[in-house]
Amino acid sequence: MTATVMNNEIEEPTASVRDELGLLRELLDHDVAERPTKKSRKQAVGIDGMTADDFKAYKARLQAERRARLKEQEAAGNLPFDSQNTRDALADAAIMLLYSGGPAADAVLNYLGQVYADKPGAPLTIASRVKSRALKPKLLRFAKKSS
């Protein structure tokens, strides 16, 4: 059941609050220009009209641009924040913990023992490779020195 309220100033029946707000906005925004909408930084590309070969070339160009950006970032000493680099950084942290020894190294060895439960010598082999520097951190050159 919708109550009809008569607006005496405008003399139009309104059926809901939305109608009243719409009328109010209409009266207030009469002279105010609409806010500009946000535009995407990417340029619109009409991929619907592309042939299969055009689409492949378009995707190849995008991938080449992405790889070039990543190489520029790496050359500048910055790594992209993605899953692969995150895994590499965590692996580096585990390698450094194993190298330094201590209680944190024991936790890493225990975890390796759970992962390689069917290969009992694997955790000690990994630890010995770390100690002999045969297994080194991968991203250490990107680590910023804090002062």
Residue 10 pLDDT: 58
104 vs 24 pLDDT, higher one: 104
- Report how far residue 114's alpha carbon sits from residue 87's, in angstroms, rounded to the nearest whole number: 18
Residue 89 pLDDT: 92
List the one residue out of 128, 77, 70, 121 whose CA is nearest residue 99.
128
DSSP 118: T
Residue 7 pLDDT: 55
The percentage of residues in the chain with a pLDDT greater than 90, rounded to a whole number, is 46
Least confident of 68-77, 107-116, 117-126: 68-77
Task: Return the number of other C-beta atoms located less than 10 Å from residue 123's C-beta.
Answer: 19
Whether the predicted pLDDT of 23 surpasses 90: no
- Give yes or no for a contact between 94 and 88, defined as CB atoms under 8 angstroms apart: no
Which residues 6+ apart lie within 8 Å of 94 measured at CB? 108
Structure tokens belonging to residue 93: 């942290």
Structure tokens belonging to residue 88: 């590499």
Per-residue pLDDT tens digits for 34-84: 555 666 666 667 778 888 999 999 999 999 999 999 889 888 878 888 899
Place of tokens 């023992």: 113
pLDDT band at 107 (very low <50, low <70, confident <90, very high): very high
Structure tokens belonging to residue 107: 């936790």
pLDDT band at 112 (very low <50, low <70, confident <90, very high): very high
Axis crossing angle, helix 122-131 with helix 103-115, rounded to the nearest 10? 140
As a dihedral over the C-alpha atoms of residue 132, residue 134, residue 139, residue 141, rounded to 10 degrees, the angle is 70
